[in-house]
Amino acid sequence: MDGQTQVQEVYAASAARLVAQLFAVTGDYAEAQDAVQEAFVRVLARPGRLRQVDNPEAWLRTIALNVARSRYRRRAVFDRLVRSGRLAPTGQGVPELSPDHVALVAALQRLPRATREAVVLHHLADLPVAGVAQALGCSVEAVKTRLVRGRRALAADLTETENIGGAAVSGSRDRGVRHA
Amino acid sequence: MPELDFRGPDFRGPDFRGLDSAAQAAFRPHFADVLHRARRRRRTRIVAAVVTGAAVLAGGGVAVAQLPARHALPPADSPTPTPEFLPAPDPAASARAQAPGRRTRYGPTQAGDLDRLYVRYGDCRDRDCAPGVAVSADRGRTWQKIPLPVPVNSLAALYPTGPRTVAVRVQTQLAAPGGTITGEKFWLTSLDGGLTWRRAELRQVPALPAGARVPDRMPGPDRDPLITVDPSTGDVLQLAHRSTLRSARFVESIPVDAGLWVSGSTGASTGPDSRISYTGSAVEVSRDGGRSWQRYVFPEQIVSNDDFGGVAVASHNGQTAYAVGRVGATLRIYRTVDGGRSWQRTAATAQVGERRITAAVRSDGTLVVQAGLDAGENPVMFTSTDRGNSLQPVPLGPGASAVPVPGGYAQSGWPQSSAVWLSVDGDDWSHVAPPD
């Protein structure tokens, strides 16, 4: 089986999961799709490298996260949009989310980036704490700290969200600050 | 701090699982977009490399001989450019317009022999592609398209194992609840040159038949044991055991009557970033169809490719063979004259940077070495006519990735191109493009 076919197999098996995880990290479905596609494009340049990694999906997730991080740093205008309290602008292919899920994505965006990534990798990607530490290049203790803080922040944020009207909160908060 | 797990039944937190399912369900896989973007990126890199090269030439800092005019790049708008650094006799052949919304995508053209050629294709309309195999019995002058009896959007990898014997590895793609993709894997084989296909039985055997043509597949034989097709039954025969080498690659450039050769490494270690480092470059040879293997471990870590496999191995007779790779940035050649039982390092060397290495031996015994496989690596090519003791730079052209087929040699242009190069002697090559 040639390298491209192997990459295509990984794409078929993993792309949807990766997009869901990147969506939770970025809050922008189009951005998530683009970051994941970019990760696969980079792998296609050297498809043989897939055979060097034990877990191709984990490796692609790392690439996609790096793509999303570096793009975010270049998007100051995006910051301004989110500081206004709105979710990141979304393009075509936006998933049909329930109000609870919209609120969750919005709350995730208000977490510090490192905390947000730890929460997403643990809860959406189903990585154990040690796996999150490996993926993010930090200690297990640091991951545990981020998860505790993330849980508290989400609990407080989502409780408040429920109290003031569900998903509408994602467009009505003044204090919502997106962390890079 | 105790181990945290918010996913337990006691945690009534946010509905991550539901968010995950909803986001996955919205995803519409379209690998063609990834391919298109990769091709566009590749062309951009090539143009940048050409511009950079021109600047170097203009400044007088010439390190590598300028390519002859016949090695001109194909047009940038070619959807399937021929290998960028190789002659392109008919670059327009693959650039003909197709009806909007409908197109045919081709895989690599592969040779059953010098006349019988096979290429998998997808007859695509919007986002659905119906797989098939295009066959030619006259060296690419005429083609016949044969749809494969598989579901739309199935993945197909094609492996000729004889002039008229072909196998296709199929993986179907079926959407499952939650937006995930599942699939079934099976083999199809044809014994009549690709005209008819049947679902093949996969039989594990302790040894492959003598003289069987074995395709080089990915993943390599350390993960997926070697296979061939029984030309009398159409069954796929698979070795019962995997290669014990790590990151192994079947050596397809060895004649079929010279045994089975596998290149790889004896050890591996996993780094903190999940990357694997391989150690102990080695070649294994089996002369009994894979029942037993004789291993030779080279005295230094010599690799041909940072991605997979160990050294590049080439031979035209199975007795005198060459193992070519690099140690750091320095090209190394080892030679065996006893069919791989013992190897000696030759005096030839060159500085090749981190380029990937391929090697082949022409019918007259000339060793051909190429360092750099695509234009972005700024490839260079050498030949040796004194059994690997010295190297002479030569203009780029086909030949270093040649594999023997009945009647001569074939070199695939994949993944840069769907075309194939054919030669009787490994020196004089003709270019064959897929249909359309």
Residues of B in contact with A2 (CB under 8 A): 107-108, 157, 218, 414-415
CB B276 to CB A3 under 8 A? no
| Touching B: A residues 36-65, CB under 8 Å | 37-38, 40-41, 44-49, 51-55, 58-59, 62
One-letter amino acid identity for B434?
A: P
Evaluate whether B121 touches B131 at the Cβ level (below 8 Å): yes
Question: Does A176 map to a domain?
Answer: no
pLDDT of residue A151: 84
Residues of B in contact with A121 (CB under 8 A): none
Q: How large is the C-alpha radius of gyration of chain B?
A: 23
Nearest-CB residue to A5 (from B4, B16, B155): B155
CB A17 to CB B180 under 8 A? yes
One-letter amino acid identity for B215?
A: P
Question: Does B258 map to a domain?
Answer: yes
Question: Does A122 map to a domain?
Answer: yes
Distance from CA of B396 to the nearest CA of A (A): 22
Which chain A residue has the Cα nearest residue B269?
A: A52
Question: Does A49 map to a domain?
Answer: yes
Question: Does A58 map to a domain?
Answer: yes
Nearest-CB residue to A13 (from B35, B169, B181): B181
What is d(CA B123, CA B385) in angstroms, rounded to the nearest whole number?
46
What SS3 state is found at B338?
coil
The token pair that represents A80 in the structure block: 């301004």
Question: Does A180 map to a domain?
Answer: no
Residues of B in contact with A100 (CB under 8 A): 14-15, 18
CB A104 to CB B155 under 8 A? no
pLDDT digits over B194-216, tens only?
999 999 999 999 999 998 999 98
Identify the CA nearest to B6 among candidates A153, A27, A32.
Answer: A153
Q: Which DSSP string do the residues of B165-233 spell out, in sequence order?
A: -EEEEEE--EE-TTS-EE--EEEEEESSTTSS-EEEPEEEESSPPTT------SS-TTTS--EEE-TTT
Residues of A in contact with B273 (CB under 8 A): 62, 137
Say whether residue A105 is in contact with chain B using an 8 A CB cutoff: yes
Question: Does A135 map to a domain?
Answer: yes
CB A55 to CB B274 under 8 A? yes
pLDDT of residue B276: 60
Question: Does B325 map to a domain?
Answer: yes
Residue B364 belongs to domain spanning: 249-405
Distance from CA of B338 to the nearest CA of A (A): 31
Mean pLDDT of chain A: 73
The token pair that represents A86 in the structure block: 């709105």
CB B29 to CB A105 under 8 A? no
Residues of A in contact with B275 (CB under 8 A): 52-53
Distance from CA of B364 to the nearest CA of A (A): 30
| Touching A: B residues 190-219, CB under 8 Å | 217-219
At residue B259's C-alpha, the angle toward residues B253 and B264, to 5°, is 60
Distance from CA of A79 to the nearest CA of B (A): 23
Nearest-CB residue to B19 (from A45, A101, A144): A101
**Count of structural domains within chain B:** 1
The shares of helix, strand and coil residues in chain B, as percent rounded to the nearest 5, are 10, 35, 50
ipTM surpassing 0.90: no
pLDDT of residue B43: 60
Say whether residue A126 is in contact with chain B using an 8 A CB cutoff: yes
Q: Which DSSP string do the residues of B77-119 spell out, in sequence order?
A: T-SSPPPTTS--S-GGGG-----TTEEEEEEEEEESSSS-EEE
| Touching A: B residues 247-286, CB under 8 Å | 247, 270, 272-276
Give me the phi and psi of B333, to 5 degrees please: -130, 130
Residue A80 belongs to domain spanning: 3-171
Distance from CA of A22 to the nearest CA of B (A): 10
Residues of A in contact with B274 (CB under 8 A): 53-55, 58-59, 134
CB A20 to CB B24 under 8 A? yes
What is d(CA B24, CA A31) in angstroms, rounded to the nearest whole number?
14
Q: How many residues does chain B have?
A: 436
pLDDT tens, per residue, chain B with 436 residues: 333 333 333 334 688 888 888 888 778 777 877 887 887 776 655 444 443 333 333 333 222 323 232 333 233 233 323 344 444 433 333 333 344 567 788 888 999 999 999 999 988 887 678 999 999 999 999 999 999 999 887 878 899 999 999 999 987 866 555 444 556 889 999 999 999 999 999 999 999 999 899 998 877 898 889 999 999 999 999 999 999 998 888 999 999 999 999 999 998 776 654 456 778 999 999 999 999 999 999 999 898 876 556 899 999 999 999 999 999 899 999 999 999 999 999 999 999 988 889 999 999 999 999 998 776 677 899 999 999 999 999 988 899 999 999 999 999 887 667 889 999 999 999 999 888 7
User: Between the CA of residue B428 and those of B23, B363, B379, B393, B425, what are the distances in Å?
Assistant: 54, 11, 20, 17, 7
CB A124 to CB B183 under 8 A? no
pLDDT digits over A95-132, tens only?
667 777 777 888 898 888 889 999 999 988 888 888 89
What does DSSP assign to residue B351? B
**Count of structural domains within chain A:** 1
**Burial per residue of B255-276, b for 16 or more beta-carbon CB atoms within 10 angstroms, e otherwise:** ebebbbbbbbbbeeeeeeebee
Q: Taking phi first (over 0 means left), then psi (-120 to 50 degrees means alpha), and beta for anything else, what does residue B6 get?
A: alpha
pLDDT digits over B237-296, tens only?
999 999 999 888 899 999 999 999 999 999 877 665 445 677 899 999 999 999 999 999
Which chain A residue has the Cα nearest residue B176?
A: A13
Residues of B in contact with A4 (CB under 8 A): 35, 415
CB A6 to CB B305 under 8 A? no
Q: How far is CA A99 from the centre of its chain?
A: 19
Residues of B in contact with A40 (CB under 8 A): 31, 34
Mutate which: A25, A44, A149, A160, vs B, most B CBs within 10 A: A44
Nearest-CB residue to A96 (from B22, B37, B305): B22
Say whether residue A172 is in contact with chain B using an 8 A CB cutoff: no
Question: Does B371 map to a domain?
Answer: yes
Say whether residue B177 is in contact with chain A using an 8 A CB cutoff: no
Question: Does B348 map to a domain?
Answer: yes
